[in-house]
Amino acid sequence: MENGAIYSSYINEYVLVGMEKKNFMEVTEKIVRFSKGWVKLQNINLNDKRQIFYLIACFITENINGDICTSDYLASKVVVVTGTEEYRFSYSGHQGQIGFRPCGICTDVQGHIVVCNGYEDFSHQCSSVHLLDMDGQFLSFLHTTGCPPFPSALCINHHQILIVSLASPTVKVYLHCK
């Protein structure tokens, strides 16, 4: 198995790891929940119809209600499942944009989901940071000024400061909410 994304939950002290298993003609992506003592607790990869949730789990976070939020760059969507492996929703970008390639993802103290859209075309007009409510409804763009190339990772610290890493050697810092 090759490791992908990883997230350590401050809420319940679990660790979520995106893992990719390559067999002869098949690649299987799943998220595995581990206890703080690294005991495997749960595999999260199939819905109740035995359909795969993830193509590539790039980044993982957990919401205040225990939902697991994953950016799937290859499938061009954010996938959110409950802690008990029930599908909640997918978000495939804002209708006003040309494309959506989610990468960095995090949540804030209000349960909002913040995700980087790293999609780029030749004019670089699509890169942005999206703010969603905890049910996956688009609320606003947080970062569109100048359309910087490829916002790839982000986090919100305990002071609610949003930090966005860009492809160039640049980090943008924003006051997110109080």
Average pLDDT, the chain: 78
Q: Which structure tokens are listed for 33?
A: 């929940």
Name the strands in the sheet holding 68-72, side by side, starting at the edge strand that comes first in the sequence.
57-62, 68-72, 77-81, 87-91
How far is the C-alpha of 13 from the C-alpha of 35, rounded, in Å? 7
List pLDDT tens digits, range 69-104: 999 888 889 999 888 888 899 999 988 777 888 888
Residue 91 CA from chain centroid, whole number:
10
Q: Is 121 helix (H, G, I), strand (E, B) or coil?
A: coil
List pLDDT tens digits, range 24-47: 555 567 788 888 888 888 877 755
Q: Are 118 and 70 in contact (CB under 8 A)?
A: no
pTM for the full predicted model: 0.82
Q: Provide the residue type at 88 as one letter.
A: R
| Helices vs strands, H then E, count in the chain | 0, 15
Q: Residue 51 pLDDT > 90, yes or no?
A: no
At the fourth CATH level, the homologous superfamily of domain 2-175 is TolB, C-terminal domain (2.120.10.30)
Q: Which structure tokens are listed for 10?
A: 């401050």
How, if at all, do strands 2-8 and 151-156 pair? unpaired
pLDDT at site 80: 92
Give, in degrees to the nearest 5, the angle at Cα 149 between 102 and 56: 25
